[in-house]
């Protein structure tokens, strides 16, 4: 009865270790030990250490883009709500990451490498993310909600702000003594972000 739901335990252990030590800094033996399972089981479940990596990352990014897409769909169906939907999408992304901080940090870090996997992820999930946010802005512009259509640098900086607290939680914790995983942190971080975005929109109705 001790050995149940091993696959979940492996994933949990892997995420925590990858978060701390990085992917190539973590051995499958480390994972197996933390998950209290046999080493061979990891290959059995995920074919590879690489297979485990890919599953973790794609699962994360799948959900990541999903919570944005929800708002895009909404913005396209309803009228004059692009701004609200944009803010909600941002909020969703922040919450999504805060709910799985280990995984988020690990994925964002791993994506800074130059591997073929990363290139594939770029052309699917990250390109999609950009497209979704871009769609929201364009809708807001065509709605007349926004003064002038923000350029790509706006999107790039938005992207940076969305991920920063989850890629650098330790920095925030040790240098600023703030807790990026607290709900109060997220509230303030979001309001600051919303304020920055609001500059571009005519009527700011921050929730």
Partner DNA sequence: CATGAATGAGCCTTCATTCAT
Partner DNA sequence: GATGAATGAAGGCTCATTCAT
- Contacting positions for DNA (CB under 7 A): 3-4, 6-7, 26-30, 37-44, 47-50
Residue whose CB is less far from DNA, 6 or 134: 6
- Token pair recorded at residue 26: 């973590």
Contacts of 178 (CB under 8 A, 6+ apart): 172, 185
**Of 95 and 113, CB closest to a second copy:** 113
Please report, in angstroms and rounded to a whole number, the separation of the first and last CA atoms in the chain.
Answer: 48
Count the Cβ atoms, other than its own, within 10 Å of residue 123. Answer: 10
Could you tell me the smallest distance in angstroms from the CB atom of residue 161 to a second copy?
Answer: 6
176's contact among a second copy, DNA, none, with CB below 5 to 8 A by partner kind, is: a second copy
Kindly tell me which of 19 and 88 has the beta carbon lying closer to a second copy. 19
Q: How far is the CB of 141 from DNA (least distance, A)?
A: 48
By the rule CB under 8 A, 160 interacts with a second copy: yes
Cα–Cα distance for residue pair 160/144, rounded to 1 Å: 26
Locate tokens 């994506």: which residue? Answer: 111
Contact of residue 28 among DNA, a second copy, none (CB under 5-8 Å per partner type): DNA
Nearest 5°: phi and psi at 199?
-55, -35
> How would you classify residue 150: left for phi > 0, otherwise alpha for psi between -120 and 50, otherwise beta?
beta
DSSP annotation of 126 reads: I
Using CB under 8 A as the binding rule, whether residue 130 contacts a second copy is answered as: yes
Residue 50, contacted partner among DNA, a second copy, none, CB below 5-8 A by kind: DNA
Contact 74, 27 (CB under 8 A): no
Kindly indicate which of the ranges 65-73, 83-91, 92-100, 118-126 contains the residues binding a second copy, using the contact rule CB under 8 A. 118-126
| H runs (alpha helix) in the chain | 6-21, 28-35, 39-46, 49-77, 82-99, 101-110, 116-121, 127-143, 152-167, 169-176, 183-198
Least separation in angstroms between CB 181 and a second copy: 14
Residue among 34, 109, 138, 181 that touches a second copy (CB under 8 A): 109
Q: How far is the CB of 116 from DNA (least distance, A)?
A: 15
Residue 155 lies near a second copy (rule: CB under 8 A): yes
- When the beta carbons of 74 and 131 are compared against a second copy, the nearer one is 131
Please classify residue 130 by burial: count the beta carbons closer than 10 Å to its beta carbon, then call 0-12 exposed, 13-18 middle and 19+ buried. middle
| Minimum distance of a second copy from residue 128's CB (angstroms) | 10
């Amino acid at each position: 009865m001790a050995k149940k739901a091993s696959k979940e335990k492996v994933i949990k252990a892997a995420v925590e270790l990858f978060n701390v030590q990085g992917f190539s800094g973590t051995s499958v033996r480390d994972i197996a030990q933390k998950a209290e399972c046999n080493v061979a089981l990891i290959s059995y479940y995920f074919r590879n250490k690489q297979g485990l990596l890919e599953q973790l990352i794609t699962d994360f990014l799948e959900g990541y883009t999903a919570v944005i897409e929800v708002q895009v769909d909404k913005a396209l169906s309803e009228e004059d709500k692009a701004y609200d939907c944009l803010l909600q999408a941002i909020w969703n992304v922040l919450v999504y990451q805060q709910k799985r901080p280990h995984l988020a940090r690990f994925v964002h870090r791993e994506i800074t490498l130059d591997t073929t996997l990363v290139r594939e992820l770029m052309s699917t999930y990250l390109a999609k993310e950009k497209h979704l946010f871009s769609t929201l802005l364009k809708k807001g512009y065509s709605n007349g909600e926004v003064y002038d259509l923000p350029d790509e640098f706006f999107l790039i900086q938005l992207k940076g702000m969305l991920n920063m607290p989850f890629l650098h939680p330790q920095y925030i914790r040790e240098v600023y003594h703030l807790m990026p995983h607290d709900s109060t942190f997220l509230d303030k971080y979001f309001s600051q972000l919303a304020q920055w975005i609001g500059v571009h929109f005519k009527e700011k109705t921050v929730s």
